[in-house]
Amino acid sequence: MRIGHGYDVHKFGGDKPLILAGVTIPGAQGVLAHSDGDVVLHAVCDALLGAAALGDIGEHFPDTDERWRGASSRALLAHCLKLAAERGLRPDNVDVTVIAQVPRLGPHKQTMRAQLAADLGLPETAVNLKATTTEGLGYIGRKEGIAVHAVALLSG
């Protein structure tokens, strides 16, 4: 068994929709990013790569590489899963914490969890997704951006 931790943050801005865990959040401000900016999937990718001792998302999908401009983070996740599988590892469970003052994620959490579970090939009972605010503190509290922590347990 191997444990990995992932973290990602993005600044709000631009004209892209906000996508979290593969789900478009209606009416929410998108983020500035080289890919589609799915901060949840980026953190999960880093957790998977960390557990497999395969570096980080920036090494595999650098923002200097035009192949990844506008890329779907679901495709990035699929690639990270493939890399882990090549090492004989598969995810057993994932725990995600989204830190955002806006948008309110309560109405979207179950859909996000279900999509993440499907993309990971896990039952929903093996995927947890939490959302919290910073109570108005810092850049997140000022509604300037969004952050995510993810932990993944892999086994082989």
Counting beta carbons within 10 angstroms of the beta carbon of residue 114, is it exposed (0 to 12), middle (13 to 18) or buried (19 or more)? middle
Domain range list for the chain: 2-155
Question: Token pair of 57, please?
Answer: 């998302």
pLDDT tens for each residue of 3-51 = 999 999 999 999 999 999 999 999 999 999 999 999 999 999 999 999 9
Distance CA 73, CA 81 (A): 12
Distance CA 91, CA 48 (A): 8
pLDDT tens for each residue of 109-127 = 999 999 999 999 999 999 9
Q: What pTM was computed for the model?
A: 0.97
Give the right CATH number for 2-155 from 3.30.230.70, 3.30.1330.50, 3.60.15.10, 3.40.50.300. 3.30.1330.50
Angle (nearest 5°) at CA 47 between 45 and 52: 95
Residue type, 128: N
Sole residue written with tokens 């899963």: 81
Give the H/E segment covering residue 18: strand 2-20
* DSSP-based three-state secondary structure for 130: strand
